[in-house]
Amino acid sequence: MNTQITKDFKDIIYHEFGINFSVEKNFLLECKIKRLIQKEEYKSIEDFYKIIKSGEKNSMEILIKYITTNHTFFFREKDHLDKLSELILKSTIKCPVIWCAASSSGEEVYSIIISLLENDIKNFLIIASDINNNVLQKMHKGIYNIGRLFETSPSIKAKYFKKIDDTHYQIRPDLRNFISIKKINLINPMYFVSQFDYIFCKNVLIYFDSETQKKAIKNIMVNLKVGGFLFIGHTETLLNTKMNVEKESNSVYKYLGA
């Protein structure tokens, strides 16, 4: 790929999705775009770029599908699931509302649900969102490769999943009733009708530069109740966002208000 077209794609991706491909990631970006061109049978990289620039909506969806990194698995960073149950059990809120932002294909949100049910917490609502429609459809179907369940115990597997074949499991369909699925781009301002008690925004800030992290966190925090809790990934930080928060535990923060 020539240097100019790589830069052009980087600019669009940064501007539209906030994802920052630094110079060291040029090769990764080029591989992703070449794969897209081949799989989706576009004439050439230049041709796809022209279609994107013309504003054709489907081409933007295709770009999101190939550019985003959707790696996730069930019961990732399990201490956060235990912490959520602990906080809910301690609080007086009757039906806590949780937002699982950048939730990818649903492993995180279904892990939250299973963990709450296992702690006898049955009254809650969850909004699960991502920028990538493709992963949201996977979440809706709830069918997962066995590789995503390597941290899932046999008893949880037996209770909440149905084995479909040698390599796939399906989540119990009734768990889907707890979730409302939405497509949300975290770099655009958004206001929900009411604020959340808990927000999970994990393992997505790492793809943003510090300016975009600030923007995304601001967009998220306006939707968190004062006294509510934000969960970020174990390797992520709120340091440069200057948010008025108090550390509750590892990568869990209590919001103290604007």
Ligand X SMILES: C[S@@+](CC[C@H](N)C(=O)[O-])C[C@H]1O[C@@H](n2cnc3c(N)ncnc32)[C@H](O)[C@@H]1O
Return the number of the residue (133 or 240) whose C-beta is nearest ligand X.
133
Provide the minimum distance between the beta carbon of 195 and ligand X in the complex, in angstroms, as a whole number: 19
Return the number of the residue (93 or 143) whose C-beta is nearest ligand X.
143
**H or E element in which residue 249 lies:** strand 245-249
Return the number of the residue (43 or 71) whose C-beta is nearest ligand X.
71
| Cα–Cα dist 123/73, whole Å | 24
Provide the minimum distance between the beta carbon of 202 and ligand X in the complex, in angstroms, as a whole number: 4
Residues forming contacts to ligand X in the complex (CB under 6 A) are: 17-19, 68-72, 76, 102-104, 108, 130-132, 135, 184-187, 202-204, 207, 233
Return the number of the residue (25 or 50) whose C-beta is nearest ligand X.
25
Provide the minimum distance between the beta carbon of 180 and ligand X in the complex, in angstroms, as a whole number: 16
Place of tokens 């399990």: 78
Place of tokens 């800030």: 205
Return the number of the residue (131 or 171) whose C-beta is nearest ligand X.
131
Which SS3 state, helix, strand or coil, does residue 214 take? helix
Categorise residue 10: left if φ over 0, alpha if ψ from -120 to 50, beta otherwise: alpha
Provide the minimum distance between the beta carbon of 109 and ligand X in the complex, in angstroms, as a whole number: 9
Place of tokens 């702690």: 119
Place of tokens 């081409």: 59
Judge contact between 162 and 170, C-beta under 8 A.
yes
Provide the minimum distance between the beta carbon of 207 and ligand X in the complex, in angstroms, as a whole number: 6
